[in-house]
Each structure stands twice: as structure tokens, then as C-alpha cells.
Amino acid sequence: MLELLSYGFIQRALAASLLIGLVCALIGIFTVLKGVTFIGAGTAHAAFAGVTLAFLIGVSPFLMAVLFGLSTVWVTTFVQEKGKMKPDVPIGVFYTFTMALAILFIGLMKGYRPEVYGYLFGSILSVTSLDLKVIAALSIGILIVLVLFFKEFHFISFDQEMAEASGIPAKRLSFLLLNLISLAVVIALKAVGAMLVFALLVIPAAAAQQWATNMRTMIIYSALIGVGSSWAGVFLSYWLDIPSGATIVLLAATVFLFSVLFSGKRQKARPV
């Protein structure tokens, strides 16, 4: 175990999964409570399309992932306001559109590019030190914004209209929150892959919600589940030599299932 911790790639994987697990778990709280999980799924696939384009034309995959990820939020918000429709419609359109682009770009590539599949299925054990720096910088940025606007995000998740009515700049903050969700997805993309990043965003918060009755416990449980399953996943996938992203998600899903079955929150009688 201690010997394992001396490996550079394990250290990087643990650091990356700590940051990603934490950021996704915390952003995930608002994603789940506000009921905007679709933006996470949409962003993940759009960002993957960005990555494929980057490999095709030879630019930074990360930069393209950010660009495509954020554009999901912008396009969806714009279309939603213009077309006065529920956001899941434009997301559904954009999501399939970007997936089609990804398939197109992969088709246009010459030869087999294994790196592309790394972004699809995730490979936390191959995080480079540059990757880690980028992940750290963005994670800290997201966490700072999250702390700064925490009470407002809490309010707009509880009731957007009530928040706006009582003097919170709810529309702008809601847009900011969607952008943060999208960024969180992008930084987790390489580690857990486009197919699975959605799980990292939604599962810890959803599991935590089965137990928590106030915001503080919600934060603690969600963070513990997110970071715990990420770390456990890193070790397990190394020892058993199985894919890391899948291991992390399966662990988190197990915790979720356990929470749904055993939390008993709904049955709990209210003390008089």
C-alpha cells in the first residue's frame, strides 16, 4: 500500500480524483436539487465532440472541450429563451447533434487514435502532471465561486421564482451555475470519460439526498461519497486491473442503491 503511494501516477490519480470527486459532488448538489441534470449529460457529449475535433485539427483537446461544453449551456439557454420551451428539448437536440459531430470527426481521422477513446471511457491512471495542474486550477476556481454564491445557489435551487421575487439576481446566477456545472464536467472528462462523467455529477448528491435533512449534512455526505468512491475506485482498478472510470461509477452506484434501500428517511417519524 505504502509502496503504491510512492508511484507518481498513483499520486496524480489520487490528487485528481480528490479534486474531481469533490467538485462534482458539490456542484452535483445543486445540479440535482435544481433538477438540471440534463445539462451535465449534454455537456459531457458536446465536450467529447470538442475533443475529437481537437485531435482532428491538432489543437488542445482540453481547450476544445471547454469551448464545446460551455457552448452547450449558452446555446441551450438562448434557444430556451427564444423558443420558450423547456430546456430538455434544446439539450436533446444539441446532445445528438454534437454526438453526430463526434462520430463524424472520428470518421475523418486517419487511422486509429487510442487517445480519443481515453476521453470516452476515462483513464484516471494516465493523468499527466500538466492535466493535474489544469484540473487543480479549475477546481479551485469553481470551488471559490461556489463558496461565494453558496446561499444564492441554495435559494435558486429551492425555488427559482421565489428567489427572483425576493431580490436575488436569480436568472444570472442560474446561468452562472449552469456554466459551473459544465466546467465541472469538462475537468472530469479525461479522468472518468464522457460516457460516465454524468454519474460522478449526479450519483453522490442523489445518494446524499437520501440521508440529508439540511444543507450541511447534504454537503458532507455528498463530498464523502464522491471522494470516497473516487479513491476507492482508483485503488481497486489498479489492483484488479480493471477500467478506473467504470470502477468509480460502479462503486458510487452501489452506495446510491444502498442509500435508497436503507436510508429510511421517508419513513422517519417526526418527533413531536
Closer to other proteins by CB, 110 or 266: give it.
266
Least separation in angstroms between CB 188 and other proteins:
23
CA distance 21 to 143: 12
Closer to other proteins by CB, 106 or 168: give it.
168
Closer to other proteins by CB, 6 or 214: give it.
214
CA distance 115 to 119: 7
Least Cα distance to 17 among 202, 235, 162, 234 occurs for 234
| Residue burial 149-187, b: 16+ Cβ < 10 Å; e: rest | beebbbbbbeebeebbeeebebeebbebbbbbbbbbbbb
Least Cα distance to 118 among 47, 34, 12, 189 occurs for 189
Closer to other proteins by CB, 66 or 205: give it.
205
Least separation in angstroms between CB 256 and other proteins:
14
Least separation in angstroms between CB 208 and other proteins:
8
Least separation in angstroms between CB 143 and other proteins:
15
Closer to other proteins by CB, 57 or 144: give it.
144
Name the DSSP class of 196: T
Could you identify the residue written with the cell 454537503?
A: 219
Least separation in angstroms between CB 80 and other proteins:
15
Closer to other proteins by CB, 38 or 119: give it.
38
Please give the grid coordinates belonging to residue 247: 470502477
261, HSE (Cβ side, Cα atoms, 13 Å): 6
Least separation in angstroms between CB 258 and other proteins:
16
**Interface residues toward other proteins, by CB under 8 A:** 33, 84, 148-149, 151-152, 154-155, 158-159, 161-169, 208-210, 212-215, 217-218, 265-266, 268, 270
Least separation in angstroms between CB 41 and other proteins:
21
Q: Which run of H or E residues covers position 32?
A: helix 8-34
Closer to other proteins by CB, 26 or 127: give it.
26
Closer to other proteins by CB, 125 or 173: give it.
173
Query: For residues 69, 70, 74 and 77, what is the CA-based torsion angle, rounded to 10 degrees?
Result: 70
Least separation in angstroms between CB 155 and other proteins:
5
221 Cβ contact partners less than 8 Å away, ≥ 6 residues apart: 204, 207, 208, 211, 212
CA distance 27 to 206: 12
